[in-house]
A and B are shown apart, each in its own frame.
Chain A
Amino acid sequence: MPDDPIYRLPLDPQEEVSSGEGGSFEQLRHLILAPEQQDLARLRERVEDPGLRTGDISAVLPEAIELRREVGGEEALGKALLPTVESALRESVRKNPTTLADALFPVMGPAIRRSILQTLRSFFDSFNEAMDHSFSLRGLQWRVESLRTGRPFSEIVLLHSLVFRVEQVFLIHKKTGLPLAHAVAPAVAMQDASLVSGMLSAIQDFVHDSFHSAQGQILEKINVGEMEVWVEDGPYAILACVIRGIPPPDYRQRMAEALEHIHRNFAEAMERFEGETGPFAGANDELSQCLEFRYKEKAGEKPKPYLVAVVIAVGLALAGWMGYRGWQNYKWAEFIETLRAQPGLVVTDFERIRGHYVIRGLRDPLAADPTELLKAAGLPLDAAEQRWGGYYALDDAIVQKRATALLRPPAGVKLTVADGVLRPEGEASATWAAALRSKALLLPGIRALDTSQLTDTDAAEFVRLQKVVEGAIIKFAVGSSVLNVTEAVKLEQLAPQIKLLLEKGRLLGENATLDVVGHSDSSGVETTNGPLSRSRAERVAAQLLRDDVVKSELQSRGVAASEPLRKEENEEGRQYNRSVTFRVRVAQSAAGAPSGTRPASPLDTPAAGNR
């Protein structure tokens, strides 16, 4: 194209018009170049006209800035724009400060407060420290009050330590005075949010107009008795908190934060508010978080060292005392159990009266001595007062003691009682056995007597002597009734035994008598043998009477050869039949004892089978 001669020609229209030569050429040139010339003219106009140029630049400006940022020339752009932005902000503030203030409200507040909070926190820490000290004494007073009134300590603390409680929170649309959202603390009577919001707005208006306060300044606090209404102002809404008690100053910051948060999320909805509260349901969480409460219990969370020491000391003392009391109670309970286990002791009542123990009950005279048991248990004797009534115990152990005391068994006899049955064991005289039989069943607690293990020494002796006496044979010479020396000595030796036998018989209550029986052999005639045998018996009887062996309990008789001792087959047999023998006769006694022997009766019982 640059080689084309046509393009090197000037394209001045004036020139074209003034030229007179070659009209057809000019015409051709015009036909070919006119569109180009028009474009060129248009472009020149756009470059030279500021209005059009601005329009062009505005179309690409955002993209251009974006491109500049991407290639890394951001700082230069910032620097270039800074004076402009600054002057723009200055201009905006000068014209209407509210616009910028409203726009910055949600972001500026937190930043400012954070730095203020940091400064104040250290101050509050030391302040709280001082408060803590002042509370410790009060804590003790509350404890005293709790003891005095009988109310739980926690309740007293609650009554005294409620610092504040936020009972209701209203989010009120500033322009209409209508409630956008409302939160109520538990157990607080709910008021009609729209009425409260309306009246609060009206009061705000009233105060604002009455005192001609500056734009944006509002009534921040209303006192109603022990209640306060705190109001926090925002561009579109106000936050009103109904508070019981005195809230901490930082609660206002809490309110401001909540209100800012709500403005961040709902500014647009609040601006367009037409009475429909539905879109603000999301603000309820924020309001609920404002329902704070606080108790003065901070002091209680950090108990003071001396208070801890006192509490521990009191606790230890209490534990020690309770431990000692517990141990004492245990010892006494154990002692009472020991008493109850004792035969012959019945504890009917046991109580503690003003540190003194009183034991009441019944005691058999033969039972163990409670005072001795008290000593053995290691308990103080003066701590117990004993009141015992007398009675007869029927415990076997006590009955055994009683039987032993009253029956006084001889050395060889042991008494045992089991299930009401008295069982003597060993050897005893008939005298004692007789006394036992007559007394045993009269003793309380004894229903039967078992003498199977008791040996009667007198009866045994009687039996033995009876055998000895009845086995003795005093022999005589043929036809004689004279005792020779040998037989006389034999009789003399037998005499004490006969005497003892008769004594034992009397002792045993047996009416024992002695028959002296004379015998003869069968030689000779009856008329001589009869008298001879009688003579022999009388001879021995006379000897016994003379020696004072027997008194009246003696009978002599002659039986001749009618009761031979041996068969007379030889001289020895005949010799035995020329003799005198003895028979002991025991009359049937009143008690029904069998004659001769007296074996111990197995069981003496007043009424067998009747228990």
Chain B
Amino acid sequence: MLLKKVCMIGSFAVGKTSLVRKSVQGIFSETYKTTVGVKVDNKVVRVGEKEVTLVLWDLYGEDKFQTLLRAHLSGTFGYLLVADGTRLATLHEAEALEAKMRQEIGNKPFLFLLNKCDLRLEWEIDDAQQADLAARGWEILHTSAKTGEGVEAAFQRLAEQMLV
């Protein structure tokens, strides 16, 4: 059996927990709870002939929990960096988190997920900003925890990156 520890990080209320819940259990919760500490879930993905079990660590991303965050990051093979498309601040926080991750665990595969694409009209993050990130080597995916759009693809893509 092939297992890969994957962390989900991002600012408060960007929809990490809902992304996991939608994908893993298929049940969307409108009134999602603030993640405290960590919650572990499984996601089985097939890459070519191989079956990979992603062990998802849904982490709380606030700075005050940084020591705890550091401990949880140990042994991570890759991560999903999540931001809320409707809040520009979460993009800046994501950039800061990415820098910290590089510092903690080195260059590991990651995907940048711009969540809430079902609310595209309310987005504060425009294409230029995304192009700028892409130029820095970030791989960006648009997801919606509510409709499930892009969620499966995100897990699939991250698994592929980790197996390269």
Contact = CB atoms under 8 A, between A and B. Distances in A.
A255 to B, nearest CB: 22
A175 interface: yes
Given A192-B42, A195-B42, A202-B40, A177 B75 contact: yes
Interface in A159-198: 173, 175-179, 192, 194-195, 198
B71 A176 contact: no
Contact of B74 (A176, A179, A194, A276): A176
B157 interface: no
Contact of A277 (B3, B38, B74): B3
A275 interface: yes
Contacts of A176: 3, 5, 74-77
A175 to B, nearest CB: 4
B2 interface: yes
A155 interface: no
Given A198-B57, A206-B37, A275 B77 contact: yes
A231 to B, nearest CB: 16
B5 A177 contact: yes
Nearest to A205: B71
Given A177-B55, A209-B67, A276 B5 contact: no
Nearest to A195: B40
B121 interface: no
B104 interface: no
Interface in B63-104: 67-68, 71-72, 74-77
Nearest to A210: B68
A175 B77 CA distance: 11
A137 interface: no
B135 interface: no
B71 A278 contact: no
Interface string B3-35: 111000000000000000000000000000000
B76 to A, nearest CB: 8
A173 B74 CA distance: 11
B3 A179 contact: yes
B55 A178 contact: yes
B2 A209 contact: no
Contacts of B41: 195
B68 A209 contact: yes
Given A192-B42, A199-B40, A209 B71 contact: yes
A175 B105 CA distance: 12
Contacts of A195: 40-42, 55
B164 interface: no
A490 interface: no
Contact of A194 (B3, B37, B77): B3
Contacts of A179: 3
Contacts of B77: 176, 274-275
B99 to A, nearest CB: 22
Contact of A276 (B2, B37, B71): B2
A282 to B, nearest CB: 15
Given A192-B42, A202-B38, A206-B37, A275 B3 contact: yes
A208 interface: yes
Contacts of A173: 75
B128 interface: no
A178 B5 contact: yes
Given A192-B42, A198-B40, A209-B71, A278 B1 contact: yes
A278 to B, nearest CB: 7
A177 B71 CA distance: 11
B57 A202 contact: yes
Nearest to A192: B42
A288 B93 CA distance: 47
Give the most central of A192, A194, A275: most B CB within 10 Å: A275
B53 interface: yes
Contacts of B76: 176
Given A173-B75, A175-B74, A209-B67, A275 B42 contact: no
Contacts of B53: 194
A210 B64 CA distance: 12
A47 to B, nearest CB: 50
A275 B72 CA distance: 16
Given A275-B2, A277-B3, A202 B75 contact: no
B64 to A, nearest CB: 12
Interface in A188-230: 192, 194-195, 198-199, 202, 205-206, 208-210
20 contacts: A175-B75, A176-B75, A177-B40, A177-B75, A179-B3, A194-B42, A195-B42, A195-B55, A198-B5, A199-B40, A202-B57, A202-B72, A205-B68, A205-B74, A208-B71, A209-B67, A274-B77, A275-B2, A275-B5, A275-B52
- Pairs of residues from A and B, 6 with the lowest C-beta to C-beta distance, nearest first: A176-B75, A198-B40, A205-B71, A175-B75, A202-B38, A178-B3
Interface of B: 1-5, 37-38, 40-42, 52-53, 55, 57, 67-68, 71-72, 74-77
Given A176-B77, A194-B3, A276-B3, 16 more contacts: A175-B74, A177-B5, A177-B40, A178-B3, A178-B5, A192-B42, A194-B55, A198-B55, A202-B38, A202-B57, A205-B68, A205-B71, A205-B72, A209-B68, A275-B3, A276-B1
